[in-house]
């Protein structure tokens, strides 16, 4: 996946913590890995159990999935698109120090509902969805409430910062 920050794939990689989680879960449970990657009823049928399974893996080794996604990555900039737990952020900060920047994307609940999101009790109020709600301070907070111009301005500021660090 291209970085979408105005940087080429040779400079920026998009990494997903859910990728190795879903791959390992699919292998251990005889499921279709590709179908677990999309927003489908197939994934939703296994979502709660997959979250519990992932939590067990993280409790045994908090850096398990973080190490998996960075294996063999050569680009100097990594965008981890689905960090959801304090332990994930801590792993990157402890491993890569000051070069780690945290970005939180927020959207109003009403905006999310307009985009098709439906609250699922026991899932959408769990750590996998809310684990960073009280994380202290993020380096960047991007508001994605539906105002495209405002979103674009915020992203331009972030991209300028990234370019300044190259």
pTM for this model (two decimals): 0.81
In a domain, 138, yes or no: yes
In a domain, 56, yes or no: yes
In a domain, 33, yes or no: yes
Q: Tell me the pLDDT tens digit for each residue of 88-140.
A: 999 999 999 988 999 999 999 999 999 998 898 888 888 878 889 989 899 99
Q: Tell me the pLDDT tens digit for each residue of 30-60.
A: 999 999 988 788 998 998 899 899 989 989 9
Residue 150 pLDDT: 97
Distances, alpha carbon 118 to alpha carbons 12, 97, 112, 143, in Å: 32, 37, 8, 20
Q: What is the mean pLDDT of residues 75-92?
A: 91
Q: How many domains does the chain have?
A: 1
> Residues 145, 102, 13, 26: is their CA dihedral positive or negative?
negative
In a domain, 7, yes or no: no
Identify the domain containing residue 95 by its residue range.
12-165
The CATH number assigned to the domain holding 18 equals 3.40.50.300
Distances, alpha carbon 131 to alpha carbons 38, 84, 87, 134, 153, in Å: 22, 6, 9, 7, 27
């Amino acid at each position: 996946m291209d970085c979408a920050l105005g940087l080429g794939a040779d400079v920026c990689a998009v990494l997903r913590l859910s990728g190795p989680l879903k791959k390992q879960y699919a292998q251990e449970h005889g499921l279709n890995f590709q179908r677990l990657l999309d927003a489908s009823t197939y994934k939703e049928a296994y979502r709660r159990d997959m979250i519990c399974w992932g939590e067990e893996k993280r409790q045994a080794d908090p850096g398990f999935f973080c190490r998996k996604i960075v294996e063999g990555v050569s680009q100097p900039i990594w965008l981890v698109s689905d960090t959801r737990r304090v332990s994930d952020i801590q792993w990157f900060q402890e491993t890569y120090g000051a070069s780690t920047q945290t970005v939180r994307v927020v959207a109003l609940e009403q905006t999310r509902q307009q985009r098709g999101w439906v609250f699922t009790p026991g899932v959408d109020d769990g750590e996998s969805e809310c684990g960073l709600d009280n994380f202290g301070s993020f380096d960047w907070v991007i508001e994605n409430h539906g105002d495209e111009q405002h979103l674009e301005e915020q992203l331009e500021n972030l991209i300028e910062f990234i370019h300044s660090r190259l």
